[in-house]
């Protein structure tokens, strides 16, 4: 949960930085740690409060480059991507997004292969200038097929390491 920019329950002033505040995971009440004075419970509902660091869910691999991550690393060493989710909801949303992107890459691969096969069929049956144009397009698409397969491999690794089994 984003704490910076919210209003403190006690003093009704804006919380400037996430590290200055805390919040209740149950009722989402936010307050300055200094205003709360170290009490372990929420002033609204009486439940234990949560520090921002305690809700972070760290990914075991990077969803951009696929590099395996060390425990509690906030940024990928290779590509500098964010390697954590703010909370369980953010984590589930990221998993959903990666599944959707993996499906989109699979769709691209199928379309690329269909175009390549159509081009080869056209070239074998009737070699014309248009057929040669399609052949050049098919050759250039082979690079995109490789990239899509590579992305699918990264997404699959990410999902295998970070999805609940």
* DSSP letter for each residue of 51-103: -GGGG-EE-SB-TTT-PBPPTT-SB-TTT--B-EESSHHHHHHHHHHHHHHHH
Residue 59 backbone dihedrals phi, psi, to 5 degrees = -85, 145
Tell me: pLDDT of 153 over 60.
yes
Tell me: pLDDT of 146 over 60.
yes
Distance (Å, rounded) from C-alpha 48 to C-alpha 41? 4
Specify the pLDDT at position 49: 65
For a pLDDT cut of 70, what percent of the chain falls above it? 93
Close Cβ partners of 126 (under 8 Å, ≥ 6 residues apart): none
Distance (Å, rounded) from C-alpha 43 to C-alpha 36? 8
Question: Domain limits of the chain?
Answer: 1-55, 88-162
CA pseudo-torsion sign 13, 21, 6, 36: negative
Which of the listed ranges 2-16, 22-36, 42-56 does the model predict with the highest average pLDDT? 2-16
141-148 mean pLDDT = 83
Q: Measured between alpha carbons, how far is residue 114 from residues 20, 26, 39, 118, 137 in Å?
A: 56, 51, 64, 6, 12
- Decide if 47 contacts 27 (C-beta within 8 A): yes
61-81 mean pLDDT = 88
For a pLDDT cut of 90, what percent of the chain falls above it? 10
């Amino acid at each position: 949960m984003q704490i910076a920019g919210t209003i403190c329950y006690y003093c009704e002033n804006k919380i400037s930085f996430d590290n200055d505040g805390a919040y209740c995971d149950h009722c989402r009440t936010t307050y300055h740690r200094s205003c709360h004075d170290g009490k372990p419970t929420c002033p609204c509902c009486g439940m234990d409060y949560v520090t921002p660091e305690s809700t972070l869910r760290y990914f075991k691999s990077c969803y951009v480059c696929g590099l395996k991550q060390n425990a509690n690393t906030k940024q990928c060493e290779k590509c500098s991507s964010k390697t954590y989710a703010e909370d369980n909801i953010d984590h589930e949303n990221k998993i959903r997004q990666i599944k959707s992107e993996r499906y989109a890459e699979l769709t691209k691969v199928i379309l690329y292969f269909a175009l390549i096969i159509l081009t080869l069929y056209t070239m074998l049956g009737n070699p014309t200038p248009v057929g040669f144009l399609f052949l050049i397009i098919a050759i250039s698409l082979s690079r995109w097929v490789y990239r899509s397969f590579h992305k699918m491999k990264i997404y699959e690794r990410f999902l295998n390491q970070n999805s609940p089994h």
